[in-house]
Amino acid sequence: MTSSRMAHELAAFLVPLGFIGAALAVLCAIVAGIAIARGAGGLAGGAVGLWIPATLMSLTASFAREWTPLIVAGAALVGMLVIGAVLRGIIGSAESRAALRPAMAVAPVAAAPTSAPTITTSSAPVATIAPRAASSTSTGSMPALAS
């Protein structure tokens, strides 16, 4: 059995550790949200991968029945994932509108009337490309993977 004094001493250490874990989890959630908004999937995955141990660290505060760090860490990730996805949608639609804008801004140019099309023939020889001959390249004891 744990004595009251031992529980108090453990809580004095674990609760601040839980708040530090929650702060790290919030930072990782912010990075994940920004990465999702920019479309950087690898960075978002890495940030969420670091969020998990930080959230487990915030769970240590539950020893003293302090659930705030864990709730803050979870809410931060959910909030930033939603915000990042919404911003990604906004950025994507703005990019597609910007891509269409130059095409719409160009006024149609009236084509000058041309005479009937002319067909020209050329007596120049046609160049042909011969395939490379496969050659074996020795790299010592290991067989060559590409020639």
pTM: 0.63
Tell me which residue range forms the domain holding 74. 8-105
Residues 5-39, buried b or exposed e (16+ Cβ, 10 A)? eeeeeebeebbebbbbbbbbbbebbbbbbbbbbee
pLDDT at 69 (0 to 100): 95
Residue 128 located in a structural domain: no
Q: Is 113 inside a domain boundary?
A: no
Q: Is residue 75 part of a domain?
A: yes
Q: Is 122 in a helix, a strand, or coil?
A: coil
Residue (of 75, 63, 80) closest to 18 by Cα position: 63
Residue 143 reports pLDDT greater than 70:
no
- Segment 106-118 shows an average pLDDT of 59
Mean pLDDT of 88-115: 71
Residue 73 lies in a domain: yes
Q: Tell me the per-residue pLDDT of 73-97, one tens digit each, with 9 for 90 and over.
A: 999 999 999 999 999 999 888 888 8
How far is 138 from 144, CA to CA, in rounded Å?
6
Domains held by the chain: number: 1
pLDDT at 36: 94
147 within a domain of the structure (yes/no): no
pLDDT digits (tens, 9 = 90+) for 12-40: 899 999 999 999 999 999 999 999 999 99
* pLDDT tens, position by position, 44-62: 999 999 999 999 999 999 9
